Amino acid sequence: MPTKHRPASSWPGRPLRQSAATTQRTATAASQPPAPDADPSVRLSKRMAELGLASRRVADEWIERGWVLLDGVPAVLGTKVAAHLPAARIVIRKAAQHQQASQVTILLHKPVGYVSAQAEHGYTPAAALIKAETRWSECDAPMSFSRTHLRHLAVAGRLDIDSTGLLVLTQDGRIARQLIGEDSAIEKEYLVRVSLADTPARDKSDEDVQAAFPESRLALLRHGLALDGQPLRPAQVEWINPQQLRFVLREGKKRQIRRMCELVGLRVTGLKRVRMGQVRLGALPPGQWRYLRDDERF
């Protein structure tokens, strides 16, 4: 009876033959590094801040108190989650919601001579002006002033010591992120008095800066300048009178307007912030403050 031959590839112990192309593909795949994780993990508090639920500091505090549920289970401090975790998987307990609702935001008309945040070089921080006797008489927020409103009060958008105008201080990390977060697009409006950098001081009082300032340099202020090696976002810049410009920015680099003006041959002699988003300085007197009302939004 003739012997039946099995295919060579099915013989026990004999390796399968591969084509040269297959061998090359296998070798190439083996030499490639593993694909990076498409959705790397981040701390839960960081993701909560990105979603606008709370600042990272506050989120960590809530997690530590057991006020944050992740997929229905109390989260643990330091928990890592997917970088694109949807908000629907995070539940904030009512205790945290009540605490958040009690957080205040204060609008201060900062005078010249005060620093925005921590005291430096002997200068007084603007927060020192926030006390019961300096509250604006026309502030119509229903709450009474409390020393607890000064706790964890952070400046959201600084003004340098030589500048005046609207300064926002808040306990609410969501508002701080909205105003100064990396992806913030909130408009900030300034009135800026200028002179020509090469004009002697004695000749500045009646100087017609607008007439002497080239239109091409005004166009540069609107778009085309860079600071710290980074191009600036487009800005709205226009003349209000022969010595004063109106700036509307969507970013806030350190001393940005002063440095922009220096690049085009102008010197800033006065700078006042009059608006942040939809909130205006209005008639708030220098050195006085008021609470942000519940019906106001930046």
With 0-12 CB in 10 A as exposed, 13-18 as middle and 19+ as buried, what is 18? exposed
- Give the span between the Cα atoms of 11 and 16, in whole angstroms: 9
Backbone angles phi, psi at 177, to 5 degrees: -65, -40
Domain with CATH 3.30.70.580 in the chain: 102-186+279-298
Question: Is 228 a residue of the active site?
Answer: no
Whether the model pTM is above 0.75:
no
Q: Which of 39, 140, 160, 172 is catalytic?
A: 160
Domain with CATH 3.30.70.1560 in the chain: 187-276
Q: Is 78 helix (H, G, I), strand (E, B) or coil?
A: coil
> Is CATH 3.30.70.1560 the classification given to domain 187-276?
yes
**CA angle, 93 then 94 then 96, to 5°:** 75
Of the candidates 113, 135, 132, the one whose C-alpha atom is nearest the C-alpha of residue 124 is: 113
Choices 3.10.290.10, 1.10.3720.10, 3.40.1190.10, 1.10.10.10: CATH for 41-101: 3.10.290.10
Task: Give the CATH class of 102-186+279-298.
Answer: alpha beta
Query: In a structure prediction context, what are the per-residue pLDDT tens digits for the chain, which is 298 residues long?
Result: 555 545 444 444 444 445 444 445 444 444 455 444 556 899 998 888 888 788 788 888 889 888 899 998 999 998 899 989 998 899 988 887 777 677 899 999 999 999 998 766 778 999 999 999 999 999 998 889 988 899 888 999 999 999 999 999 999 888 888 898 877 889 999 999 999 998 776 656 778 999 999 999 999 999 999 999 999 999 999 999 999 999 999 998 999 999 999 999 999 999 999 999 999 999 999 999 999 998 999 9
